[in-house]
Amino acid sequence: MKIKQLLVLPNLPDSIKNLQELAHNLWYSWNPELSGLFKDLDSKLWEETHQNPVELLSRLPQERLAETAQNKEFTDRLDKIYADFQSYLKKKFWFQHKYSKETSFKVAYFSLEYGLDTGLPVYSGGLGILSGDTLKAASDLGVPMVAVGLLYRYGYFHQALSKDGWQQERYEENDWYHMPIRRVKGKDENPLQISIDLAGEKVQLQLWQVQVGRTPLYLLDANIPDNSPALRDITSILYGGDKEMRIRQEIVLGIGGVKALTALKINPQVYHINEGHAWFLALERLRNLMESHQLNFKEAYQYLWATSVFTTHTPVPAGNEKFDPVLVHRYLADSIKQMGISWDEFLKIGRLIPEDDTEPFNMTAAALKSSAFNNAVSELHCQTSREMWRQIWPNLPFEEIPIKAISNGVHPGSWISPELNKLYMSTFGPEYVERPGSPEVWKKVYDIADSDLWRYRNSKREQLVEFVRKRLAQQLFSRGSSQTDQQRAKKVLDPRALTIGFARRFSSYKRGNLIFSDIERLENIINKIDRPVQLIISGKAHPLDNSGKEIIKQIIKFAANERLCDRIMFIEDYDINIARILVQGVDVWLNNPRRPQEASGTSGMKAALNGCLHLSILDGWWAEAYDGKNGFAIGSGHEIESVEAQDRFDADMLYNCLEHEVVPMFYELNEIGLPAQWIERMKNSIKTAGESFSSQRMLMNYTDKFYLKAFEASRKLSKNNFELTRSVSKWTDRMAEHWESIEIRTVDMTIPEGELFVGQTIPVTIEVFLGEIDPDDVNIEIVAGRLASHEELTNFKPIQLSTNNSGKQLKNGIHSFRGEVTLSESGKFGISARVTPNNESLPHTIRPKMISWW
C-alpha cells in the first residue's frame, strides 16, 4: 500500500504567527517570559504535552487561536518577546568581544545524549543534561559551536513502580512532527541523507535539526524505510541492547556524525568528544584528512591529536566503554586496512598497555591518546582519572599526567525558578544576563532582603508539596490503589516542614538507601512534632541494573512504614521537569555517593542556585565548593577500604549532621521570626554556585584553555597544504626512532656543607648523550620538590636548563647543560633530571614513552 505523506502545520493568525518560530527554538526552555506565554494559552494542555510548545500549538482548537490573536495584551507580549529573541540572535556576546578576530572558528561537540527540555526526550541523565546545558551556554556566550547526536525513536524508558516497588519500564514512541525539531533538507528539498558501512551493510541516515538559541544540534536517525528492521533499530533506544547494538550506535554517532557535517558543508577546526562513546569520529576525520590532503596515517593522526578535546566523566574503570577486539574487527577491519596501518597497530590505540593482547578496545583510552586536550569534570575527579589512566603515561609524575580539571557547571537560566529569576534580575541588574558568572554580579545576593528570600523559599516549598500530592495520587491510581489511599495522598507532607530532596540515577555507589541505614534513628529525626522533616525521592535504575532496582524497592518498603509514610515520598518517572521542580522547591539537597565515585554531581549545583543548601559527601564538585558556610558536609572526606565500614561511618555522619546542624539551624528563628543563619547560608550557597559552577564559566574555561589553543594548532598545522603537519610528523618519527639512545650521563650538584635551609640554591650541571637528536629538539629539566612515599616527587615545577657550551657537543654526541635548584620547602626534598621532547609547533609534547629520566 502506498501512502502520500503530508506535513500539516497549525494555521496561526498573522498576529500570533511568530509563535511557530519561537516554538521551534529551545530558547523557550530558558526564557521564562516565553514559556509563560505558551503556558497562558492553555495551562492544562501545556502540562499534558510535557511543556512542548510545538505539540501545544498543534492541539489548540482553531477557535482558541483566533481568540488569542484578538487579545491585545497577549499579542503585545508576544511582539516584545519576539523582538527580544531577534535581538538575542544578532547580539555580540562574550566570544565576539574577547575573540573578535577569530571569525572562522567553529567547534564540533559530539555526545550520545542531550537533555534540553522535557518535550525533547533524547536523554537519560546527568551526561545528557550537561550536554544540553553546554549548548545553551554556547548560545549565551556566542561560542561558535555545532553539536551532533542521535535521534532515538523511543529515547529512554518511562518508569512505573509495582505495588511492591519493583521498577517497570515502558517505552513510548516519539512523534518528531510534534516536537521542536525539523528534518534537514537538501538543495532538492528532499530530506538530506548520508550513508555509512556497518559490517558490509549500508545504513542510510537522515538528519534532523534542533535549534538551541544560536547553537544548531544535528541528530542522526536510522529509522527510515530504506533500512532493514535491524538497521532501523540502531536509533531506537538510548543505552539499550547488547554490546553489538552499542558499537553500532557509537559508529553511527562518530563516523556518521562527521559525514553529516561534511554533507552540511560545516567544517569545524576543533572537535570536542564528550565521553568515550563518541571516539569513532576520529576514524572518519582521519579518513577525510588522508583522502582530501594526501596525508599518511601518522600525519593525519598528528593533526587529529592537536585539534581534539576529550572530556571523561566516569570515575570507575568498569563504567568506561570497552569492546571485544573481535567485535571491533567485524565493523572496522576494512576501514583500518584502507588507512594503511595494521590491525595490531590500531588496537594499541585503545589499550592502556599497548603490548597486552588480552586487553579489550577501550574507548576512553583511545580518546585520551588521540586528544592533546583532556579533562576530568572536577578537581577530585581529575586526581581519580589520573590514577585510573596513569599506565598510558608510565614515565610521567602523577601531577603531570595530561588530564586537567575543568569542573562541570549548570545553565542558570534553565534551572533557576522564574520567581527567583525575577528577584535576581531586580537585585543584580542587567549584568546578571550580560555577564553570567561574574563575581561582582553574584556578590549582590547579600542585597536581597532576608524576608524576601524566605518568603520565596516558603512559596516554592508549598508549590512542591502541592505537586507531590497530585503526582502521588496519580501514581496510586495507576497502581489500582483504593480511593481512600488516593484521597489520603492529597494530604501528605507539610508545606512548612524542612524538606530534603534526593534524586538521581539509582546505582549502588550513589547509595540511595543510605539514609535508611538506621530506621529508628531516622524516625526520631523526621517525626519530631515541633521540628518535622520530610524526604522526597525520585530517580530511575538502568533496566539491567537489578541492584539499583532493589534499592528503589527497599525505599518504597520503608516509605510504606506507618511511622514514615507521611514523611517520605517517591516520585516516579524522574525527568527534567521533576528535577527542576525539586531543585527549586526543597530546602536541602542530599547527595551521598561513595567517595571518590561521584565525578561531579551537577544536581547539587542546580539546587544551590535556587538557594537550596547542599548536604553531601565531600565528593565531586562539593569537595572543591564547600567552605563550611555554604551548605553541609557529611564527614570530612575520610575514605575507608571496607565498603561496609565506609557505609556505616557515612550513615552515622549523615545522621549526626541532620540532628546537630541541619534541623536545628532550619528551625532556629530570630526575634522577627526568620531563620537568620539558614538564610545566610542560602545566600552563600547561591554566590558559590553562581560564581563558579555555571555552564557559562565552564565553557569559558574550555574556550580559553582548550578550544582556542586547538584552533591555533589547526591554523598552523593546516597552512600550505599541511606542510607543518608533515614536518612535525617526520620530527615525531625521528624522535621516536632515536629516543631510546638518550642517556643522562652525569648530574653534578654543588651541595653546601652542613645543614640546608629553605631558600638556598644548588648549582647543577648535567651531561646528556643525545646521539642523533639535536639539543633544540629537547628540554633538559631539573625536577625538584617534596619527596612523598614511594620516592615520588610532588609539588614541583620543572626547571629548564640552558646549554653550557652554546649547543656544541663536548664529545661523541654528549652535551652539557647547567642551571640551579632553589630549595623551596622543608622536609624530605628530592632532585632529579630528565629529558623531554621540545617542539613549539605542537600544543604540548607529552607523549607516552618519550621521556628519559636520570
What local confidence, expressed as pLDDT, does residue 2 receive?
63
Side-chain-side CA neighbours of 54 within 13 Å: the count stands at 20
CA–CA distance, 223 with 153 (Å, rounded to integer): 7
- Look at residue 407 and tell me whether its pLDDT is greater than 90: yes
- Look at residue 501 and tell me whether its pLDDT is greater than 90: yes
Confidence of residue 806 (pLDDT cuts 50, 70, 90): very low
Q: Is 503 helix (H, G, I), strand (E, B) or coil?
A: strand
Condensed to tens digits (0 to 9), the pLDDT of residues 201-239 reads 999 999 999 999 999 999 999 999 999 999 999 999 999
What local confidence, expressed as pLDDT, does residue 364 receive?
98
Least confident of 524-533, 555-564, 597-606: 555-564
Mean pLDDT score, 41-47: 95
Confidence of residue 799 (pLDDT cuts 50, 70, 90): confident
Q: Which residues contact 802 (CB under 8 A, 6 or more apart)?
A: 817, 818, 819
Q: Which residues contact 379 (CB under 8 A, 6 or more apart)?
A: 405, 407, 623, 624
What local confidence, expressed as pLDDT, does residue 3 receive?
66
CA–CA distance, 147 with 208 (Å, rounded to integer): 12
- Look at residue 848 and tell me whether its pLDDT is greater than 90: no
CA–CA distance, 788 with 792 (Å, rounded to integer): 5
- Look at residue 632 and tell me whether its pLDDT is greater than 60: yes
Let me know: does 504 contact 512? Beta carbons within 8 Å.
Answer: yes
- Look at residue 4 and tell me whether its pLDDT is greater than 80: no
Q: Which helix (H) or strand (E) holds 326?
A: helix 325-338
Terminal-to-terminal C-alpha distance of the chain:
77
CA–CA distance, 583 with 229 (Å, rounded to integer): 41
What local confidence, expressed as pLDDT, does residue 829 receive?
86
C-alpha cell at 754: 652542613
What local confidence, expressed as pLDDT, does residue 8 receive?
66
The CB density around residue 201, as the number of other CB atoms within 10 Å, is 12
Condensed to tens digits (0 to 9), the pLDDT of residues 436-458 reads 778 889 999 999 999 999 999 99
What local confidence, expressed as pLDDT, does residue 403 receive?
97
Q: Which has more pLDDT, 762 or 606?
A: 606
Mean pLDDT score, 30-51: 95
What local confidence, expressed as pLDDT, does residue 846 receive?
83
The pTM assigned to this predicted structure is 0.95
Condensed to tens digits (0 to 9), the pLDDT of residues 581-630 reads 999 999 999 999 999 999 999 999 999 999 999 999 999 999 999 999 99
DSSP string of 688-725, one letter each residue? HHHHHSBHHHHHHHHIIIIIHHHHHHHHHHHHHHHHHH
Let me know: does 543 contact 169? Beta carbons within 8 Å.
Answer: yes
Q: Which has more pLDDT, 751 or 364?
A: 364
Q: How many helices (H) and strands (E) does the chain have?
A: 33, 29
Condensed to tens digits (0 to 9), the pLDDT of residues 255-289 reads 999 999 999 999 999 999 999 999 999 999 999 99
C-alpha cell at 757: 635551609
Mean pLDDT score, 135-145: 97
CA–CA distance, 335 with 284 (Å, rounded to integer): 9
Let me know: does 632 contact 614? Beta carbons within 8 Å.
Answer: yes
Mean pLDDT score, 98-122: 96
Q: How much is the mean pLDDT over the chain?
A: 93
Confidence of residue 1 (pLDDT cuts 50, 70, 90): low
Confidence of residue 831 (pLDDT cuts 50, 70, 90): confident
What local confidence, expressed as pLDDT, does residue 810 receive?
66
Q: Is 786 helix (H, G, I), strand (E, B) or coil?
A: strand
- Compute the C-alpha angle 109/112/115, nearest 5°: 85
The CB density around residue 720, as the number of other CB atoms within 10 Å, is 8
Confidence of residue 433 (pLDDT cuts 50, 70, 90): confident
- Compute the C-alpha angle 122/416/492, nearest 5°: 85
Confidence of residue 562 (pLDDT cuts 50, 70, 90): confident
Place of cell 652542613: 754
- Look at residue 646 and tell me whether its pLDDT is greater than 70: yes
Least confident of 140-144, 193-197, 315-319, 420-424: 315-319
Question: Left, alpha or beta for 628 (phi > 0: left; psi -120 to 50: alpha)?
Answer: left
Q: How far is CA 358 from CA 314, 323, 325, 330, 366, in A?
A: 22, 12, 9, 18, 16
What local confidence, expressed as pLDDT, does residue 155 receive?
86
pLDDT above 90: percentage of residues in the chain: 80
CA–CA distance, 569 with 503 (Å, rounded to integer): 11
Condensed to tens digits (0 to 9), the pLDDT of residues 467-488 reads 999 999 888 888 877 887 778 8
Query: SS in 3 state form for 49-98?
Result: CCCCHHHHHHHCCHHHHHHHHCCHHHHHHHHHHHHHHHHHHHCCCHHHHH
CA–CA distance, 156 with 125 (Å, rounded to integer): 9
